[in-house]
Chain A
Amino acid sequence: MNAIPGAVAVNTFREAVRDRVLYNLIFFALLMIAASILVGQISIGIDRMVIVNLGLSAISLIGLVMAIFIGVSLVSKEIEKRTLYSLLARPIHRWQFLAGKYAGLLLTLIVNTAFMTVGLAGALFYVGRPFVRGDLTILIAIYFILLEFALVTAVALLFSCYSSPMLSTLFTVGVYITGVFAQDIRQAGDLSKDAAVEFITRAVYYLVPNFHNFNVIAAAAHGEAVGFGLVWQNTLYTAVYVVLVLLGATAVFSGRDLK
């Protein structure tokens, strides 16, 4: 690992920890404890489904909120507070700084998600359900959630390079929602039979990150298997998309005057 992005990444992670970002884990732990107790009282048959559904949804939502709200201020906060000035006066390329900030937030999200995964496993253990082979889907679902975070963080970072945190939040949330419905938008365009509409909906489909294949929470809750082909497909898609977005962010940021 390149030493400069590594140092920036560790500092970004340290900032998140010291700014008490990981306090959300307390909320998640309380949610899991409450769910485990309640589910045990309500029914016997569907306890696993409810806990997995609730746990994975909470992991996804908490992480997305973190990715968006921390991501949009990754660069703009450093410019606003002028902490970037003394840093870029050192032999540091701007792409190295961006790569470090991105890796730092991703590391924060991975650590956060790892703790929540342990919490979810604890809840499943509490309701007395033994771990079975089908639970592998839960881990795949968590991996896909992390891939979603990687995509959203890259988009947030791109907007953070040239826009205010408030506008960046709006743009990133907009891109995320469009990405969730990308498949539906394309299908709607295909059904319209209008060449222009079809062109626009297809352009949107290819431009925004397509989250359609990333949500396997329902499958995980029902203990259904997920093919490894999808794992590879999503991994490759995320890697290519993130690299392209980070290259775009570098192009924008490298020419920017830090007034």
Chain B
Amino acid sequence: MAAAIIEIEGLTKDYPSGFWRKRWKRSLDHLSLQVEEGEIFGFLGPNGAGKTTTLKLLMGLIFPTSGTARIRGRSIEDIAMHAEIGYLPEHPYFYDYLTARELLDYYARFSNYSTAERNARVETFLKRVGLSSAANVQLRKFSKGMLQRAGIAQAILHDPKVVFLDEPMSGLDPVGRREVRDIILALKQQGKTVFFSTHILSDAEMLCDRVGVLVDGKLHGVGSPREMVSVEMQSMEILFELLEGRALPPRIADQARQIGGRYRIAVPEQDVYVAIEQLRSCDARILSMTPVRPTLEDYFIRLVGRERAATHEEETVLR
């Protein structure tokens, strides 16, 4: 097992609310978590779950009510630790009067590079995120996808060991999402650890070595996407077509859905061979067989639903 690069222990954050009578609202509840070196870790959760709060605590933008965290063995309160991390905030907004080149040059000035090295890095990273041709365009003229890429460039410009990305795919079109996914995978290939929060589960499923699911400030399980859904029952989706004049066997006909001139049927894994035999008996032509695995999304929605139902029940009892 690789060494833990991010160690979070009992991290808790309460925010005050109310003007006259101060009440405290718990945004993050005793979060304990370890992220290993070189992995892509997805931090999942619905809006308001505490993902951004966690990232802000790790970045030192807000201060914990209790608990501690260490990154590469250094406390998050140690300012020198920040030289080894990169951060892309949620919905990044950068100085829009700067050009992309000026923005990266500005951030590079915080890393003690010589002028020549700084200039070289700026050009390299503009190219890496595909912004070379827009290097002299002011950020106020950038699309959301371009801004996101500029944001990622500033986060990785100083060659950090750990990169934190807060909702990096949020609001992007499919092309933009694909570009960001490719950048994240390239970071992993370079040996970086990537910790990113998202509520787009297909992205997490595609990219992450492990994920953690956060609901209402509490962590509900950590594991690989496959581990987290493997306990679920699997099925097989069969796509087929019938010859003209042939009828489907009654058991199949009850379940099959006709789309265009084709039929689609989902059968439990243990019944697959029976279904194939029945299709053969009516001379059906099988076009494809796709294993249907429950997605991380199914797991996630069930988990959030369960947690919210429990909270609702608790509130009803208290009333």
Contact = CB atoms under 8 A, between A and B. Distances in A.
Contacts of B310: none
B317 interface: no
B63 A257 contact: yes
A8 to B, nearest CB: 9
Interface stretch (A90-98, A169-177, A228-236, A242-250): A90-98
A93 B61 contact: no
A19 B138 CA distance: 13
A58 to B, nearest CB: 27
Contacts of B94: 83, 86
A87 B94 CA distance: 10
B106 to A, nearest CB: 6
B95 interface: yes
Interface string A13-32: 01100110000000000000
Contacts of B95: 11, 15, 83
Given A11-B106, A92-B82, A18 B97 contact: yes
B160 to A, nearest CB: 10
A7 B109 contact: yes
Contacts of B112: 3
Nearest to A6: B109
B220 interface: no
Contacts of A92: 79, 82, 110
A186 to B, nearest CB: 36
B92 A86 contact: yes
B61 A89 contact: yes
A34 interface: no
B62 A90 contact: no
Contacts of A255: 63
Interface in B178-217: none
Nearest to B108: A7
Interface stretch (B38-46, B83-91, B267-275): B83-91
A255 B164 CA distance: 23
Nearest to A89: B87
B107 interface: yes
A82 interface: yes
B151 interface: yes
A85 B97 contact: no
Contacts, number: 80
A86 B155 contact: yes
Interface in B61-96: 61-63, 79-83, 85-89, 91-95
Given A86-B89, A255-B63, A259-B62, A3 B109 contact: yes
A81 interface: yes
Nearest to A93: B79
Nearest to A257: B62
A9 to B, nearest CB: 11
Given A257-B62, A258-B62, A86 B154 contact: yes
A88 B60 contact: yes
A89 B83 CA distance: 9
A203 interface: no
B91 A82 contact: yes
A86 B79 contact: no
A257 B61 CA distance: 6
B15 interface: yes
A152 to B, nearest CB: 24
B61 A83 contact: no
B56 interface: yes
A166 interface: no
B61 A258 contact: yes
A4 interface: yes
A12 to B, nearest CB: 10
Residue among A88, A90, A93, A259 facing the most chain B CB atoms (10 A cut-off): A90
Across the A-B interface, give the 5 residue pairs with the lowest CB-CB distance, nearest first.
Answer: A89-B87, A18-B97, A7-B109, A257-B62, A85-B89
Interface of A: 3-4, 7, 11, 14-15, 18-19, 81-83, 85-93, 255, 257-259
18 contacts: A7-B110, A11-B95, A14-B97, A15-B95, A85-B59, A85-B61, A86-B92, A86-B107, A87-B110, A89-B60, A89-B61, A89-B89, A90-B82, A90-B110, A91-B80, A255-B63, A258-B56, A259-B15
